[in-house]
Chains A and B, each alone.
Chain A
Amino acid sequence: MERAEEYAKRDRPLKWVKVTNNHEISPGVFLISWKRFCDFVPGQVVKLAINKVQPPRIYSLCSGNRNETMSVLFNIKEDGYLTPRMATAVEGTELLVSNPYGSFHDDGGSAYWIATGTGIAPFYSMLKSGLSGDKILIHGARHLDQFYFEDELKHTVGSNYIRCCSGEQSPEVYHGRVTQYLLEMNQFPKDFKYYLCGKSLLVVDVRDLLISKGISYNNIFSEIYF
């Protein structure tokens, strides 16, 4: 235990914040919030812990950078330490949070935003922070109830919001994986940036696919949930 505290001291400093809201937005998936204590760039991450003993984990911020609160999106890992406990947090529960950091930033130009699961978080943060323009958002999930913020995204992103569901079918949603959808796309604009966020295999597969379609790796930006 002493050692764990020692590592925590050497890592990025964490500060105590109080939870203002913890909402289960889909079965097993929560959006947890606390009062914003500094500026951040959408796409940045924070380290988060519930005590000084267990090492923190990294989460993308999932809120606008002018909102009163900061939020992260997480799903419960049954065998994990942090997320089952975070899921029980209520208003006033204390969390340890680092200052935001990281460089997964959209430069404002035309872009594809490609995510699976909770990998939608940085893109939601970008939208809530006012990033707009020529953005195409592709979100992959296994089940239809895993398209987090779906109603809001349909409204704000409109026809550029593409949902790919591998496990269930719906008339509005492409049936299949994100990679399958991309394989069926005819053209990949060479002057777009491609931002990818999600689990490693998705990111690696999509990155390889884009490169095979002639996209320069210089235009591909990846954030992997480690």
Chain B
Amino acid sequence: MKDQLFGKDLNELKDICQSLALPKYTGRQLAEWLYKKEINSIDAMSNLSKKTRELLNEKFEFGLTEPSRVQESIDGTKKYLFPTLHNRFIETAMIPEVDRKTVCVSTQVGCKMGCLFCMTGKQGFQGQLTAGEIVNQFRSIKEYGDVSNIVYMGMGEPFDNLDAVLKSLDILTSEWGYAMSPRRITVSSIGIIPAMIRFLNESDAHLAISLHTPFDIERQKLMPVQIAYPIAEVVNEIKSWDFGRQRRVSFEYILFKGLNDTPLHVRELSRLLSGIRCRINLIRFHTVPGTPLVSPDEETINNFKDQLNAKDITTTIRASRGQDIYAACGLLSTKELLKTKD
């Protein structure tokens, strides 16, 4: 199998050129063709000599992967299914809004974290995505040219595949790559502390942490990672960082009826997050098979938001999108995985 050019960073492209005895500047030319122009083959790199293209074709392929399936919701949200190795699938969501188009990308095939409320975890861990496979989810969708924001909130735990995630961020934000502002990119994690520190050091993208309850034992039952990386330690680490005025940290909070939607939770959240300039995103829970959890009613959700805002924590409710196409991550690919097993 040939190696893929798409997903290589500038240094890697320069190294490839050196190994093929091509001029060093060809590396930058390759980056331009890969990340700035809408081509999908080495043959289309028209400012490279025919001999250079033949040489590259011998050892490499361009490396884009088309989605194998697309579903569109009545609200315009699209769910793309991309094939990966061994008949596995990853999901990418494109969420259109009035003033923006956001792409939600996956970072792993399946997930190891085993959160009680997550469908992706039910697939187990199938493998890591490469930087190329992550960026391809943005590059190979129909809306590519119109995408304004990227969120790493699809399948998998980004901080469990940090090398590839950081490399993909480099490709997306470098001047030789897509030159996107890191302020338009958010990486969401359950809070693997050493990886989070490295991410904060090496990237300028926004950080979102899956919080879901401020209480230790409760979070442990929802998210086994709590045993290894308690949320209090995650938050303490965040408190020690200066996020400046541009970089944002937010906390994701899925509301579960009767479990994490009480005034006690509001009080503890306020105590836990005091001193951090942050936002809480409340998320409605869409039931997944095999979990005993259900979403509270709208009144409870709004009350919870109001109570947090009254405590001076900026709190918003995330709009639910694409429910008719299983846009919540993991649902569609798990169905597809089960189909291939049958």
Contact = CB atoms under 8 A, between A and B. Distances in A.
A217 B224 CA distance: 12
B291 A103 contact: no
A201 interface: yes
A221 interface: yes
A217 B292 contact: yes
Given A3-B198, A207-B116, A224-B113, A10 B227 contact: no
Contacts of A176: none
Contact of A220 (B111, B197, B202, B221): B221
A55 B290 contact: no
Interface residues of B, number: 32
Interface in B209-246: 216-217, 220-221, 224-228, 230, 237
A104 interface: yes
A211 B292 contact: yes
B121 A7 contact: no
Interface in B133-183: 160
B292 A103 contact: no
Contact of A3 (B111, B201, B224, B225): B201
B333 to A, nearest CB: 15
B237 A10 contact: yes
Contacts of B226: 103
Interface residues of A, number: 31
B228 A200 contact: no
A208 interface: yes
24 contacts: A3-B198, A3-B202, A10-B194, A11-B197, A103-B216, A103-B220, A103-B230, A200-B113, A200-B114, A200-B124, A201-B123, A204-B114, A205-B122, A208-B122, A211-B290, A211-B291, A212-B290, A216-B292, A218-B221, A221-B221, A222-B224, A224-B225, A226-B192, A226-B225
Contacts of A204: 114, 121-122, 124
A114 to B, nearest CB: 14
A203 B227 contact: no
A45 B227 contact: yes
B194 A11 contact: yes
B198 A58 contact: no
A217 B230 CA distance: 19
Contacts of A6: 201
Contacts of B290: 208, 211-212
Contact of A224 (B123, B197, B224): B224
A199 B228 CA distance: 14
A200 B112 contact: yes
A22 to B, nearest CB: 24
Contacts of B230: 103
Contacts of A223: 224, 227
Contacts of B198: 3, 7
Contact of B227 (A8, A102, A217, A218): A102
B86 to A, nearest CB: 15
Contacts of A201: 123-125
Interface string A16-54: 000000000000000000000000000001000000000
Nearest to A203: B114
A208 B224 CA distance: 14
Contacts of B224: 203, 222-224
B207 interface: no
A43 B107 CA distance: 31
A58 B114 contact: no
Contacts of B112: 199-200, 224, 226
Nearest to A10: B197
A217 B221 CA distance: 7
Contacts of B123: 201
A225 to B, nearest CB: 8
B193 interface: yes
B2 to A, nearest CB: 22
Interface in B83-132: 111-114, 116, 121-125
